[in-house]
Amino acid sequence: MITRIIGTGSSLPSNLVTNDDLSKIMDTSDEWISSRTGIKERRLAKEETTASMAAEASRKALENAGISAEEIDLIIVGTITGDYVTPSTSCEIQAKLGAVNAVAFDVNAACSGFMFALHTAHIYLQSGIYKTALIIGAETLSKIMDWNDRSTCVLFGDGAGAAIVRAYAQARNEKGGLLAFEQGSDGAKGKVLACRDRVNNNPLIQNPLEPGYVSMDGQEVYKFAVGTVPASIIKVLEMSELKTEDIKYFVLHQANIRIIQSVAKRLKVSEEKFPLSLDHCGNISAASVPILLDEMNRKGMLKAGDKIVMSGFGAGLTWGTAVIEW
């Protein structure tokens, strides 16, 4: 069986917030943010929710794939910012789309969430249990930011990206679709990028119901990313018997321009092969890879037979990398 991406979609909030806008409410500037991160602006949710953006991205992906919601067998959402503890975001999406034949669940792998969802769907499809899956990365990160902490809040944005993946019978010696996948976790270093949930509060113990906000050790996250991501990419290339020159694009999680530049340098690959959405979207965790993929797809940048690498990495610490033939 071959697992192919047959449609993509994305959704961003209507409210655009520039670096100059942020400089009016905190001690920062466009130069300070853009020179360190590559980010110029981001979208922040006002009326939108994680589920509403995920549903819109999914509808666009279904339309792009030319299939109906009833054809979806499986829905997996990668998110850390669902609207509810329960029901899951994926079950909300099932209801919003009318995907009555689908089983739905979420995965929590932060910035690697879409890649973990892709690999999980791939395994289901390869086993023959299901034929068609909807995978989504969706986040409303603005609700877990401390907007007095300029070292973190200026980095993140809100949005959702989706893809339809389908299993096809594989002819003899035929290749295509998802060629190789590698993923991993390093929980021992998980606290370098974290967000605490509400603490226990019951008749036996009294705690303030204070919200948790994202905290990050930027230097440790940087060292993790620039070491782990190139190594993961090399692994999947070796697994698929490809070289960097065989890859048309490297579609990386949009965390920081310096990380992307460092990965390109370590792989000895031109930065032109690393498309960006970071400048106008910021870091949208699990949604960044599928949003960028959809932007590329709709610009006509992806042609049949093109080989691309996708890689997500972040909190957990987690990472997931795939080689795909379009």
* Residue 180, Cβ density class (10 Å: 0-12 exposed, 13-18 middle, ≥19 buried): middle
| Secondary structure of the chain in HEC code, one letter for each residue | CEEEEEEEEEECCCCEEEHHHHHCCCCCCHHHHHHHHCCCEEECCCCCCHHHHHHHHHHHHHHHHCCCHHHCCEEEEECCCCCCCCCCHHHHHHHHHCCCCCEEEEECCHHHHHHHHHHHHHHHHHHCCCCEEEEEEEEEHHHHCCCCCHHHHCCECEEEEEEEEEEECCCCCCCCEEEEEEEEECHHHHHHEEECCCCCCECCECCCCCCCCEEECHHHHHHHHHHHHHHHHHHHHHHCCCCHHHCCEEEECCCCHHHHHHHHHHHCCCHHHCCCCHHHHCECHHHHHHHHHHHHHHCCCCCCCCEEEEEEEECCCEEEEEEEEC
- Does residue 172 have a pLDDT over 60? no
Among the candidates 168, 202, 229, a domain finishes at 168
Q: Determine whether 111 is an active site residue.
A: yes
- Beta-bridged to residue 185, according to DSSP, are 318
Place 174 in a pLDDT band, splitting at 50, 70 and 90: low
Per the CB < 8 A criterion, the answer to whether 12 and 71 are in contact is: no
Residues 160 and 202 in one domain: no
- Does residue 5 have a pLDDT over 90? yes
Residues 144 and 250 in one domain: no
Q: What are residue 324's phi and psi, to 5 degrees?
A: -130, 140
Residues 199 and 85 in one domain: no
Closest CA to 225 of 266, 191, 196: 266
- Beta-bridged to residue 133, according to DSSP, are 74, 165
CA–CA distance, 191 with 227 (Å, rounded to integer):
18
pLDDT value at residue 145: 94
Catalytic pick from 19, 64, 256, 283? 283
Place 176 in a pLDDT band, splitting at 50, 70 and 90: confident
Catalytic pick from 111, 153, 195, 281? 111
Q: What are residue 211's phi and psi, to 5 degrees?
A: -70, 150
* Structure token pair of residue 55: 């549903």
pLDDT value at residue 171: 60
Residues 149 and 72 in one domain: yes
Residues 125 and 225 in one domain: no
Catalytic pick from 253, 256, 281, 297? 253
Among the candidates 112, 142, 168, a domain finishes at 168
Report the mean per-residue pLDDT for the chain: 94
Q: What is the CATH number of the domain that holds 244?
A: 3.40.47.10
The mean-pLDDT minimum among 9-13, 31-35, 206-210, 277-281 falls in: 206-210
Place 214 in a pLDDT band, splitting at 50, 70 and 90: very high
Among the candidates 112, 144, 168, a domain finishes at 168
- Does residue 212 have a pLDDT over 60? yes
Residues 60 and 208 in one domain: no
pLDDT value at residue 232: 97
Place 144 in a pLDDT band, splitting at 50, 70 and 90: very high
Question: 225-229 contacts: CB < 8 A, separation 24 or more?
Answer: 225/255, 225/256, 225/259, 225/262, 225/263, 225/313, 225/314, 226/259, 226/262, 226/263, 226/266, 228/184, 228/313, 228/317, 228/319, 229/259, 229/263, 229/311, 229/313, 229/319, 229/321
pLDDT value at residue 184: 96
Domain with 293 in it: 177-325
- Does residue 84 have a pLDDT over 70? yes
Mean pLDDT of 293-311: 96
Residues 124 and 181 in one domain: no
Residues 228 and 132 in one domain: no
- Beta-bridged to residue 139, according to DSSP, are 159
Residues 13 and 159 in one domain: yes
* Structure token pair of residue 133: 């899956």
Residues 6 and 39 in one domain: yes
Place 199 in a pLDDT band, splitting at 50, 70 and 90: confident
Q: Determine whether 281 is an active site residue.
A: no
Total domain count, the chain: 2
Residues 131 and 185 in one domain: no
CA–CA distance, 14 with 49 (Å, rounded to integer):
12
Residues 12 and 161 in one domain: yes
- Does residue 159 have a pLDDT over 80? yes
Mean pLDDT of 183-188: 94
pLDDT digits (tens, 9 = 90+) for 105-122: 999 999 999 999 999 999
pTM: 0.94
- Does residue 81 have a pLDDT over 60? yes
pLDDT value at residue 173: 60
Place 170 in a pLDDT band, splitting at 50, 70 and 90: confident
